[in-house]
Amino acid sequence: MLDNFRTGSRKNLRSGTGTIRNLLEQNVSDPIAGCFDGIFHLACPASPVHYQADPVETFRTAVWGTYQVLELARESGARVVIASTSEVYGNPLVHPQTEDYFGNVNPIGLRSCYDEGKRGGETLAMDYARTRAVDVRIVRIFNTYGPRMMFDDGRVVSNFCHQALLGEPLTVYGDGSQTRSFCYVSDMVDGLIRGITSPVFDNPVNLGNPEEFSMIELAKLVGELTGSTRPLRFLPLPSDDPSRRRPDISKARKLLGWEPRIPVREGLIRTLADFRTRLGRNAD
């Protein structure tokens, strides 16, 4: 495992039942040594709070970090899963989003370091597949959530859960009509594993939950699950914030036999239980 813990926590390594045999603490953009059969490239700040904090480093991670991983895969003969993102579709003009849609992305906006960085990473990965014979599997990950999310990472699920449990108003940007699709973390992990073990793959493949929620609907559901009665707090919509987001997962169903199994309500119940536990510890 390689991580620089810029947006992660060492505590998470002690929370599961598995064992990390080797931990290499470094930046993925630096040269990586080793020999591997399979590689999951998941490195990159993925929430607006984090990827906009140092946009140059975000873009470098998305492109140059991907280059380092692809070089490692080429030298090792390893199969590599490249974690891309639904953000490559930008503010989509096609709904739901299929893998053959090229997207509607602002190349010079505040989100561009991540959006265009991931698009550049995909370009590099496909060129390695075509010209260096690297077995590349690009998965476009839609909003994922679950236990052990950071309280202050700026994602809507963590924001709503944290605010509701603290008795604060839930913050909604714009009028709350924008939509997202939320995939529970265990379902996403299952999709990633199927991505690397599948004997056949057709780049790229969407991984996400096709159940679509507006921000207002999600806020009401979190309020219901927590008993929160505080009014919503509306703030201006950030620039280039997508108005709709929903994956077409037909390819994932056909190639990987994959689809989400945890309903959003159940996933939120599990996430809220974890948030309550950790907030209780912090209060001690």
Question: Domain map of the chain by residue range?
Answer: 10-283
Average pLDDT over residues 158-173: 96
Q: What is the pLDDT of residue 8?
A: 74
Task: Give the tens place of pLDDT for each residue, 203-235.
Answer: 999 999 999 999 999 999 999 999 999 999 999
**CA–CA gap between residue 174 and residue 171 (Å, rounded):** 10
Whether residue 162 is predicted with pLDDT greater than 80 in this model: the reply is yes
Please give the distance of CA 56 from its chain centroid, rounded to a whole number: 19
Q: What is the pLDDT of residue 25?
A: 78
Average pLDDT over residues 237-260: 96
Q: How buried is 186 (Cβ within 10 angstroms: 0-12 exposed, 13-18 middle, 19+ buried)? A: middle
Contacts of 153 by beta carbon, 8 Å cutoff, 6+ apart = 7, 47, 49, 50
Q: What is the pLDDT of residue 284?
A: 42
Whether residue 67 is predicted with pLDDT greater than 90 in this model: the reply is yes
Query: Hey, which CATH number is domain 10-283, 3.40.50.300, 3.40.50.2000, 3.20.20.370, 3.40.50.720?
Result: 3.40.50.720
Task: Give the tens place of pLDDT for each residue, 103-153.
Answer: 999 999 999 999 999 999 999 999 999 999 999 999 999 999 999 999 988
Give the β-pairing of 38-41 and 179-181: unpaired
Whether residue 281 is predicted with pLDDT greater than 80 in this model: the reply is no
**Mean pLDDT value across the chain:** 93
How many CB atoms within 10 Å of residue 37?
Answer: 9
- Contact between residue 101 and residue 89 where contact means Cβ atoms under 8 Å apart: yes
Task: Give the tens place of pLDDT for each residue, 5-55.
Answer: 777 777 777 655 555 677 777 888 888 888 899 999 999 988 888 889 999
Task: Give the tens place of pLDDT for each residue, 261-276.
Answer: 999 999 999 999 999 9
Task: Give the tens place of pLDDT for each residue, 68-85.
Answer: 999 999 999 999 999 999
* pTM for the predicted model, two decimal places: 0.94
Q: How buried is 146 (Cβ within 10 angstroms: 0-12 exposed, 13-18 middle, 19+ buried)? A: buried
**CA–CA gap between residue 123 and residue 129 (Å, rounded):** 10
Whether residue 1 is predicted with pLDDT greater than 90 in this model: the reply is no
Kindly list the catalytic residues: 114
